[in-house]
Amino acid sequence: MTEKLNRLKDQFRGLEAGLAEALSIQLNKGSECERTSESISSATTTNEQLNNLVMDQRTRRDEYANVISKQLEAVETLEANIDATGEKNLDEAITWYNKFLGFRVVAGEGVKFVFNKVNMQSPDNEYLFCMKVTKDKYSLIQCDPLLKDSEELVKDLNCTNDLFKFVRIMRARFQAAATKGVHPASSFCPDTSSITASSPPALSVDTTSESTSNQSHSRSRSKNQDMHAKRGRTPRSAASPLATPSSMRRSPRFVAVDAGNRH
C-alpha cells in the first residue's frame, strides 16, 4: 500500500512538472503571438502610411506637371514676344544707324562696314573697311582711307573679340582723318595677318600739320591710281583672294548683316 502511494506521488509530481512546462510554453507562445500581432499591426500602419505618401507624391507630381506645363506655355509665349520685339528693335536700330549715322553693313566677300556722314563738309563721302574671318581670326582686307595702327587694332580685336568696340574706334578714326582732310580713295589694306616691311605705309590720323596730311593724301591717291590700273589688267580671282561667304564665322556680331540685307 505504501509503495503504491509513493508511485502515485511520483506520478503527481511528474504531472505537476509537465503542467508547469506546458504553462511556460503557453506563456511563451502567447508572448510570441502578441509580438507577431504587434508586428502585423505595425506593418499594416506602415503600409497605410506608405500608401498615403504615394498618393500624396502622385498628387504633387500632377500639380508640378501642371505648373511646369503652364510655365512652358508662358515661356514659349514670352520667347515669341521677345523674338518679335527683338526683330522690331533690330530693324529700328538698323534704320536709325542708316538715317543718323550713315552706317550700313554689306555682305559679300567678307563683311564690309560702310559709313557716311563722317565728314560734315562732305556727308555723302563713304568711309569703309572690310573684315573677313578665317579660322576664328579677324583680318582687315580693305580700308578706305588707310588708317594708322590698323594692325594693332585688329590684334586687339582678335584678343577681345569685341567687334562693336572695333567698329566704334574705326568710325572715330575716320572722323579724325576727315578733320585732317583725308578722304576715301578706294584703297586696299594689306591683310594684317601677313603684313611685311614692304607694305605701303598707312596714313596717320594724328598728324600735327594740315599740309603734311594733304601731301600724304596726294601720294596715297597716286599710289591707289597705279594699283587700280594694275588691278584692271589682273583677273578678279587673282586680285581678290578673299574668303567665300561660307567661310565667314557666324559671330553674333554679324547678325546685323542678314538684317541689313532685308532692308
The pLDDT tens digits for 37-83 are 888 999 999 999 999 999 999 999 999 999 999 999 999 988 888 88
Residue 150 has pLDDT above 50, yes or no: yes
Model confidence band, residue 186 (pLDDT cutoffs 50, 70, 90): low
| Residue 26 burial by Cβ neighbours in a 10 Å radius (0-12, 13-18, 19+) | exposed
Of residues 256 and 171, more confidently modeled: 171
Residue 36 has pLDDT above 60, yes or no: yes
The DSSP-derived string for 100-114 is II-EEEEEESEEEEE
Model confidence band, residue 12 (pLDDT cutoffs 50, 70, 90): confident
Model confidence band, residue 222 (pLDDT cutoffs 50, 70, 90): very low
Contacts of 20-23 with C-beta under 8 Å, sequence gap 24+, read none
Model confidence band, residue 98 (pLDDT cutoffs 50, 70, 90): confident
Q: What is the pTM of this model?
A: 0.41
Per-residue pLDDT averaged across 221-226, rounded? 47
Q: Tell me which DSSP letter residue 121 carries.
A: T
First vs last C-alpha separation in the chain: 137
Of residues 162 and 93, more confidently modeled: 162
Per-residue pLDDT averaged across 80-93, rounded? 79
User: What pLDDT was estimated at residue 157?
Assistant: 93
Question: Where along the chain do its domains lie?
Answer: 55-100, 102-262
Give, in degrees to the nearest 5, the angle at Cα 199 between 193 and 201.
Answer: 110
Residue 161, sorted as left (phi over 0), alpha (psi -120 to 50) or beta, turns out to be left
Of residues 263 and 158, more confidently modeled: 158
Task: Round to whole Å and give the CA distance between 173 and 177.
Answer: 6
Q: 112 - beta bridge partners?
A: 106, 130
Can you state the angle between helices 163-179 and 150-160, rounded to 10 degrees?
160
Q: Tell me which DSSP letter residue 140 carries.
A: E
Which CATH class name applies to 102-262?
alpha beta
